[in-house]
Amino acid sequence: MSTQLTCSLDHAHYRLEELVVAHHARHSLTHGIAARIGEGISTEDHRSTYDIADLYGEGFDPRLTAGDLAVHHNEGLPPPDIRAEQQRIERADALVLVYPVYWWSMPALLKGWIDRVFSNGWAFEFRPDAPLIKKLGHLPIHLLGVGGADPGTYSRHGYAAAMRTHIDHGIFNYCGAKVITSELMLESETAKLLESHLYEGSQTLGESMHYGVSVTDSCLGWGDTEALLTRAATALARAKPLMKVG
């Protein structure tokens, strides 16, 4: 996977996008991707802008507190740090989450952010004696997970589907928020030499995306990659005797 990324979301209607990044290292691929998404937002439409919420850099505490639990039970108001996070989302026209996949889900830092910020009374209203009210129907969501495993592993074990059930449906649909983009950028640790996807070319992140096409640099299709790998293997096999020492 290349680090020269030009990512953009279909943000034509958004004035301000809140980019939430959940990674401890500023120089990580995850932060790099978030930065490129930000660049895409501001260069494609000068009226659009973005704010990056670097959860680790800002020292967000993902541990649920007694005060948070009181909010959940309709017995208290959100603490100031949580209210600040909610206000940040209230100012935005769309929410973008960029995170590495840890154990086939989001990192604990981001899960804790959801646990605490998407609270009862703000993201939804739940009372045992009343129907659930979904309160985030106005908030478009874009999800981008960066994973080390390959697409075959994700589909063979149903991990991609499980993540969609858990995150897209279980969290955002519960609050009424529409998930516009839900993408996994895979093989983040291995696919560094030959950039190849199922289909040639590239696409920008948005509503109508095509399976198997790169969302970063323009890439070779699988057919060309396979032919190149075969040629490289043949060349290497011929070269081997020359490399023998002693």
- Min. distance of Cβ 118 from ligand FMN in angstroms? 23
| For ligand FMN, the closer CB: 188 or 216 | 188
Q: Give the interface with ligand FMN as residue ranges (CB under 6 A).
A: 23, 28-30, 100-104, 146-149, 188-189
- Min. distance of Cβ 229 from ligand FMN in angstroms? 22
| For ligand FMN, the closer CB: 10 or 142 | 142
- Min. distance of Cβ 32 from ligand FMN in angstroms? 7
- Min. distance of Cβ 119 from ligand FMN in angstroms? 27
- Min. distance of Cβ 100 from ligand FMN in angstroms? 4
Please state the φ and ψ torsions of residue 41, each to the nearest 5 degrees: -65, -50
| For ligand FMN, the closer CB: 103 or 211 | 103
| For ligand FMN, the closer CB: 71 or 163 | 163
Q: For residue 46, how many other CB atoms are within 10 A of its CB? A: 7
| For ligand FMN, the closer CB: 139 or 205 | 205
